[in-house]
């Protein structure tokens, strides 16, 4: 009964990819080490899904990066003129923060895209 948990891959693969079971499932069923074959089957079956979704995630993140930068530039400008009195930071300090963001913002957003991409891949695997 211990090996029954390894046979879950036989029913968990989506329909277009379950044709791989015709080739790989017999190895799982007769193997003395079903955990290894379970991992092999799942990697083979879900690799196309991983590649497609991770590529779409990366493209979507890169497309949204300029929109995010423009939104943040205008948001920081609004923060300078509207909220300067409610917080104890001068307009000059906030303006210098805005200038710093205009210089460092694009590389920082670019690094955030790849940080998010790495986290996405880590959670997918």
Note the pLDDT tens digit of each residue in 49-83: 899 999 999 999 999 999 999 998 888 888 777 76
Q: Are 2 and 29 in contact (CB under 8 A)?
A: no
Name the pLDDT band for 107 (thresholds 50, 70, 90): very high
Domain boundaries, the chain: 2-124
* pTM of the predicted structure, to 2 decimals: 0.69
- CB burial of 9-39 (b: ≥16 within 10 Å; e: otherwise) equals beeebeeeeeeebeebbeebeeeeebeebbe
């Amino acid at each position: 009964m211990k090996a029954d948990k390894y046979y879950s891959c036989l029913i968990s693969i989506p329909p277009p990819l379950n044709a791989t079971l015709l080739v790989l499932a017999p190895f799982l069923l007769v193997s003395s080490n079903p955990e290894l074959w379970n991992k092999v089957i799942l990697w083979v079956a879900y690799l196309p899904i991983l590649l497609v979704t991770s590529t779409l995630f990366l493209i979507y993140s890169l497309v949204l990066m300029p929109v995010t930068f423009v939104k943040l530039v205008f948001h920081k400008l609004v923060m300078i003129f509207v909220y300067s009195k409610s917080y104890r930071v001068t307009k000059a300090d906030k303006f210098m923060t805005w200038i710093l963001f205009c210089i460092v913002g694009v590389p920082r957003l670019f690094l955030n895209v790849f940080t998010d991409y790495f986290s996405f891949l880590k959670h997918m695997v």
